[in-house]
Amino acid sequence: MVLASAEIEDLRTAKRLLETPGLAARIGDYVGAPIEKGFALLPEKWNAVVNKATRKSIAAALEFALWTMNDNRAGPPSNRWHKLAAGASGAAGGMFGLPALAIELPVSTTIMLRSIADIARSQGENLMRAEARLECVQVLALGGGSNSDDGSETGYFAARAAMAKAVSDALQHLARSGLSHQGAPAMVRLIAQIASRFSIVVSEKAAAQAVPVLGALGGALVNTLFIDHFQDMGRGHFTVRRLERAHGAEEVKRVYDGL
C-alpha cells in the first residue's frame, strides 16, 4: 500500500526529529557557550566514569523495561510530567556536581525510559510484548553516535541496522529463558551496544553540567533538554514503526529516504 498524504507528513515530521542536531547543539543554544568548554573541565579519567555509569543505567533501564513496562491504557503521552521529573532529578544532581552522576543518571534514565514507553504506547505499540519493550530501550541508542561509527554508519536507519543483531539475540534469549538469566551473553551484548552510543550523549550532558555557573538550575535545564531530546527520538522512532506495521519496512524506508 502507498502511504497516504497524512502518513507522509507524519513520516516527514519523524525524519525531522530523528535527523536534526543532537543534544550538544541544543545545550549550546540554551547555555550560550560551546559545549567544548565543559569538556575541558572534565577530569582526565572521566570517560571511565561515564562508561561505568552508562552501563549501570542501561542495565537498570533494561530491567525496568522487562519487569514493569506493561501499561497499555489509551491516551496521549505525559511528556510534560516526565520532563518535570527529569528536571527535578537534574537539579538534585546539579547541587552535588559531577560526582553525583553515578546516582543521578540511573534515575533520570529510568524516567526517560518511562516517557519513551508512554510515547510508544500512544503510537500503537503493545507494551505487553518483549519486542516493544526492547524497542523502547533501543531508543537510547538512537540519540547519539558511536565511537566506532564512520561516515557510512550514521543516520537513523544505520543506527537501527547496527543494533538489529543484538536486539534479535536478546529477544531469542527472552523467548527461551523468560526474564531470568539477564546476565546471559545476549543481554550483556545488548547493554554494551546501547551503552556505546548512549555514553556519547551522557558525556555531552556531563560536560554541560561541569560548567561551574550552572549548578542546580543548570542541572535541571540540562536534564530537561536531555529528556526532550530522547522524547523526540522516541516520537520519531515509534512513528516510523507504526507506519512500518501498516506498509512494510521497505516501503517506509524508501519514502523516508526520498523526503
In 3D space, the residue among 69, 67, 113, 66 whose CA is nearest the CA of residue 89 turns out to be 113
Q: Determine the structural domain holding residue 62 and report its residue range.
A: 5-258
Judge whether residue 152 has pLDDT over 50.
no
The three grid cell numbers given for residue 113, joined into one nine-digit string:
525510559
In 3D space, the residue among 142, 111, 194, 151 whose CA is nearest the CA of residue 22 turns out to be 142
Judge whether residue 66 has pLDDT over 80.
no
Q: What number is the average pLDDT over the span 181-185? A: 71
**In Å, how far are 2, 89, 143, 160, 235 from 226, measured between CA atoms?**
35, 12, 10, 21, 14
Most confident of 20-29, 32-41, 222-231, 250-259: 250-259
Taking the chain, what is the end-to-end CA distance rounded to the nearest angstrom? Answer: 18
> Residue 237 — very low, low, confident or very high, per pLDDT cuts 50/70/90?
very high
Judge whether residue 142 has pLDDT over 70.
yes
The pLDDT of residue 185: 87
Q: Is 213 exposed, middle or buried (0-12, 13-18, 19+ CB in 10 A)?
A: exposed
Q: What is the pTM of this model?
A: 0.86
Greater confidence, 190 or 62? 190
> Residue 107 — very low, low, confident or very high, per pLDDT cuts 50/70/90?
confident
**In Å, how far are 25, 125, 132, 156 from 161, measured between CA atoms?**
25, 20, 17, 9
Judge whether residue 226 has pLDDT over 90.
no
User: Are residues 207 and 42 in contact, defined by beta-carbon separation less than 8 angstroms?
Assistant: yes
Judge whether residue 164 has pLDDT over 60.
yes
Total domains present in the chain: 1
The three grid cell numbers given for residue 172, joined into one nine-digit string:
531469542
Query: What's the CA gap between 240 and 178, in Å, rounded?
Result: 28
Query: What's the CA gap between 205 and 28, in Å, rounded?
Result: 11
What pLDDT, in 10s, does the model give residues 123-132? 999 988 889 9
State the CB neighbour count (10 A cutoff) for residue 147.
9
Query: What's the CA gap between 109 and 236, in Å, rounded?
Result: 19
**Residue 207, SS3?**
helix
Go through 78-115 and write b for each residue having 16 or more CB atoms within 10 A of its CB, e for each that does not.
ebeebbebbbbbbbbbbeeebebbeebbbbbbbbbbbb
Residue count (the chain): 259
* Max Cα distance, the chain (Å): 55
β strands within the chain, DSSP E? none
